[in-house]
Structures are given as structure tokens and as C-alpha cells.
Structure 1
Amino acid sequence: MARFRHTVTLTPVPRRWLESCVAALHDLAEGTDVEGARLRLPDGRPVPGLALLGGRHLGPGARYRPLREEDGEPDTDQCLTVVSWDRRRETALEVVTVDGDPDRRSHLVCALGLTSAERPREAWLSATLRTNGGKRAKHLGGTGCLHLDLGRWWQSTGHGRHPSRAPLSGTLTHPLARVAVTVEPRPAPDGRWRVTVRARLKGRSVARPLLPLATAVLGRRARRACAEALDRAAAAWNAQVPELVRKDGERLGAELADALLGP
């Protein structure tokens, strides 16, 4: 087993601000009208490049597809499906992307959800990649999942009693390896978040006996690369978040609506 640990310092995100953003995103989606298959924003502007092709708007089973630029027809390789939409209970979506390459056909399914929009408590994300074509195709797929307990997160960033489990955890499973990750924040003296990322790597199948050798040869370089990647991500976060949190949910919703319309 290989282990990794690294800590970064992040600009905090206020709880009320996050909750207002979640509410604004739901307001934007629920205020969007449907004319035939086309969508219109609450102010009447049409949403280009997206169409409702099945079900009732935002109802369970509603299916949306992007429209191809060249002919305006639905792209059959991509589909977004509403699994559930209830502000008091759960919002969940599924996105399917298919790569029709005849030599290596792939099928990616991503699911994301939130409980609940009125007072967010949990969020999760999962992804499954399957490939077909050739004996090596099975080694190109895998699964991943993330789970965020927002109650534990806010508890961890406060100055009271800390929860016994990390609020953010995830796994990445490949036919040859499995990675388990936990993310745990703590309050820094200056009010920011000190966020510690821990990872454990286990070999699977024929890779299990090779993991100690790979760790001995490449472990230090891999740990350095992971630490540098986290430092870059933290720098980007700290550069962008202060400006974002100065905007309220309504303003961010309006900017998202403008972004949906393109240039």
C-alpha cells in the first residue's frame, strides 16, 4: 500500500453564500420555460444548443440533449437525464456520453446529486467508464465516486468539536488499482481553511505484487507531482474565490444565464 498526505490553505466559502448559490441555480432552472423542445430563460431569451427531447421539464426522466452546431440536430452521443428534482428532498442528474469510435467504443456515465436544495446537507458525484474493443479495453475503464457531508464540513471548519470522520471522501477503482481519498478541513488562525488531503493506493489483480516495486522507484516523484498539483489548485482557488463570494446568489445566477447564451 502506498500513502500520500498534503495540506493546503484555502480561502473559506461562507455557508450562507453557498446555500444562496444553490437556491439561485434551482430558481434559474425552475424559471426556464419550454416551447416545444426549446428552452427559454426566465427573461424570455432562448437557450441555444440544448433541447428537451423527452419527459416533462425537470420532472423525473426528463431528457435533454445538446444540438449540433452544423445542422441543429440533437447529438445522440450525449444526454442529460433528470433523476429527481425536489428542493426539499433531493436533486439528482445523470449525464451519459458515448464515444462511437469503432476501434474503442466508450460509455461514460456521470451522476451527481444534492440533499437538499433548501438546506444542503449532502452532495455526491459518481462516474463509470466502460470501453469495448480489444483485450486491453477492460483496463481503460473504471469507476469513481465522491461524497461530501456538508454538516461535517461546516463542523470541521468551526472551532467546536470536530467530527470523527472526514467530511469529504472518495474512491477511484481501476482493474489494476484502487485509490481511497479523504479531505479534512481545519480552521487556520487567520480564519482560512487548512485542508489536508490523504490518499491510499492499493494494487489489484496482477498489479498487487508490483506495487511495492513501483512505489520504491516512482513513489517520491509521484508524491511530488501530486503535491504540486494540489498547490496549483489551491492557488487558483485563492485567486478566484474572494471575488466570487462578494457576489450574491442572484447575481451569480444572472451571470450563469448570460454564460448559457454564449458570446
Structure 2
Amino acid sequence: MARFQHTVTLAPVPRQWFESCVTTLHDVAEDLDSDGGCLRLPDGRPLPGLVLSEGSHLRPGARYRPVNGKDGQPDADRAATVLAWDRRRETALEVVTVDEDPAHPARLTCVLRLLSAARPREAWLTATLGTTGGKRAEYLGGTVRLHLDLGRWWPSAAGRNRRPLAAPLGGTLTHALARATVTVVPRPAPDGRWRVTVKARVRGRSLVRPLLPVVMAFMGRRAHRSIAEALDGAAREWNARLPALVHKEGEELRAELTGGLLPPRDVHPPRALPGDTPLGCPE
């Protein structure tokens, strides 16, 4: 078994702001008007780049597809499907991306669940990469499962967690040759930020199990350094972007989130080619 541990310092996210952000995201989605495949903002502006291809807006089974930038048609290889949309109970979305590479066709399925939007308590993320074709297809896929206990995260970040051994964020990565268990625990830093410690344990599976100690003896230090550098880079990005965002509330936060749905002012949505019948909004 191989072990890894690294700590980064992050700008904190106030719990009240996080919950407000979840509520606002739901408000923005629910305020979209649906007319066939067309989605419009409350002021009538069309929402470019996304169409409702199946079902009723935000009802279970509703399927959304991004618009292909080349011809203005819905992208058949990507889709987001609503599995559940109930603020008091659960919000769940499934996002599927298909790669039609003739050598190794692949399908990535991600499912995000939140319990619940009215009072966020827990969240789950499952991502599965499956491949077909080729003798080694089983070694090109895997599954990631993460569980975030929001009720434990902020007490832990404030140093008030009554169960310090229970990680608020944990998960597994399962591959044909290895299985990794990951835990993430926040603690208060002296300057008010979060000291977040990531721990991982990797066990070999199948024929790799007896070889893992040998592999880690040669490559363990390099692997640890690469993962630590990736975490440090993500922390720098987080700290550069988050502080300005968490100061936005109410209508300012709503405008920020709504603006994220729109392209830059100098970018125009693609026009359909002659003969095409896109599902997007007419001008």
C-alpha cells in the first residue's frame, strides 16, 4: 500500500454565502423560459450555446445539449439530463460525454447529487469512464466516487468538529489495477484561512498488488511531487479567484452567475448553415 499526504492553504468560503449561491443557481435556472428547444433569460435574451432537446424544462428526464460551434446544431456527443429537481429534497444531474474515436470509443458519465438546495447537507459526485474496443480497454477506464458532508465541513474548518477523525470529504478511485481512498479535512489557519489536508492510500489490485511496493520505490517520490504540485497549482487558482467572488451577494451575485451563461460581448453565437434547422432561439 502506498500513502500520500499534502496540505494547502485556501481562502475560506462562508457557509452562508455558499448556501446563498446554491439558492441563486436554482433561481437562475428556474427563471429561464422554455419555448420548444429555446431557452431565454427573464429579460427575453436567448441563452446561446444550450438547447432543451428532450422533455420539459427542469423536470426529471429533461435533456439539454450544447450547441455545436461549427454548424449551430445540438451536439450529439454531449448531454446533461435532469434526474431530480426538488429544492426541499434533492437536485441531481447526469452529464454524459461520448468520444467516438474508432480506436478506443469512450463514454464519460458524471452524476452530481445535492441534498438539498433549501438546506444543503450532503453532496455526491460519481464519474465513470468506460471504453470499448481493443484488448486493453478495461485498463483505460475507471470510477471516481466522492461524498461531501456539508454539515461537517464548516465545523471542521473552524476547529469545532467533534469527530476529528471523520473526514468531511472522502472518496475512492477504482481502476482495474489499483484502488485509491482519499480523504480531505479542513482546519483553521492562524490568519483565518483554511488549512486543507489531502490524504490518499493506494492499493494494488489483481496482478499489480505484489508489484506496487516495487513500483513506489522507484516512482513514489516523483508521483508525490507531481500530485503536490497539482494541488498547489489548484490552490493558487482558488485563492486568486475566490475572494472577489464571495463578496458578491444578492442581485450582484445573481448578475455574476447569469453573466456566466452568456458569451463575451464580442463573441456571437454561430449562425445555422443553409438547410439546417437548429433547436436554438430565433433572433
- Residue type matched to 1:151 in 2? G
Superposition TM-score, scaled by structure 2 size? 0.89
Q: How many aligned residue pairs are there?
A: 263
Match of 2:220 in 1: 219
C-alpha displacement of 1:136: 1.0
User: For the residues of structure 2 that align with 1:189 and 1:201, how far apart are their CA atoms?
Assistant: 32
User: Unaligned 5+ residue runs, structure 1?
Assistant: none
Give yes or no for contact 1:143–1:173 (8 Å, CA) kept in 2: yes
Whose strand proportion is higher, 1 or 2?
1
Match of 1:113 in 2: 113
C-alpha displacement of 1:55: 1.2
Match of 1:228 in 2: 229
Note the alpha carbon deviations across 1:135-163, whole angstroms, 9 max, x for none: 01111011001110000101212243432
User: Unaligned 5+ residue runs, structure 2?
Assistant: 265-283
Match of 1:55 in 2: 55
Superposition TM-score, scaled by structure 1 size? 0.96
- Residue type matched to 2:107 in 1? H
C-alpha displacement of 1:186: 1.0
Match of 1:262 in 2: 263
C-alpha displacement of 1:101: 1.5
The residue matched to 2:136 in structure 1 has which SS?
helix
Equivalent residues in 2 for 1:1-263 (5 A)? 1-163=1-163, 164-263=165-264
User: For the residues of structure 2 that align with 1:7 and 1:36, how far apart are their CA atoms?
Assistant: 49
Tell me the C-alpha RMSD between the 2 structures. 1.3
C-alpha displacement of 1:118: 1.2
User: For the residues of structure 1 that align with 2:107 and 2:10, how far apart are their CA atoms?
Assistant: 35
Pair 1:159–1:132, CA change in 2 (3 A) = closer
- Residue type matched to 1:201 in 2? V
User: For the residues of structure 1 that align with 2:2 and 2:262, how far apart are their CA atoms?
Assistant: 46
Tell which deviates more after alignment, 252-261 or 177-186. Answer: 252-261
- Residue type matched to 1:262 in 2? P
User: For the residues of structure 1 that align with 2:148 and 2:250, how far apart are their CA atoms?
Assistant: 21
Note the alpha carbon deviations across 1:76-117, whole angstroms, 9 max, x for none: 111110000001111000011111122211111100011111
C-alpha displacement of 1:72: 2.2
- Residue type matched to 2:180 in 1? V
- Residue type matched to 2:178 in 1? A
Pair 1:9–1:70, CA change in 2 (3 A) = closer
Give yes or no for contact 1:17–1:249 (8 Å, CA) kept in 2: no
User: For the residues of structure 2 that align with 1:65 and 1:98, how far apart are their CA atoms?
Assistant: 12
The residue matched to 1:209 in structure 2 has which SS?
helix
User: For the residues of structure 1 that align with 2:139 and 2:161, how far apart are their CA atoms?
Assistant: 43
Give yes or no for contact 1:90–1:114 (8 Å, CA) kept in 2: yes
Give yes or no for contact 1:24–1:250 (8 Å, CA) kept in 2: no
- Residue type matched to 1:216 in 2? A
Pair 1:233–1:69, CA change in 2 (3 A) = closer
- Percent identity (aligned): 66
Tell which deviates more after alignment, 86-95 or 97-106. Answer: 97-106
Note the alpha carbon deviations across 1:192-235, whole angstroms, 9 max, x for none: 11111100011111111110101101111111221222122222
- Residue type matched to 1:210 in 2? L
The residue matched to 1:210 in structure 2 has which SS?
helix
User: For the residues of structure 2 that align with 1:102 and 1:4, how far apart are their CA atoms?
Assistant: 37
C-alpha displacement of 1:252: 2.9
- Residue type matched to 2:204 in 1? G
The residue matched to 1:102 in structure 2 has which SS?
coil
User: For the residues of structure 2 that align with 1:123 and 1:223, how far apart are their CA atoms?
Assistant: 28
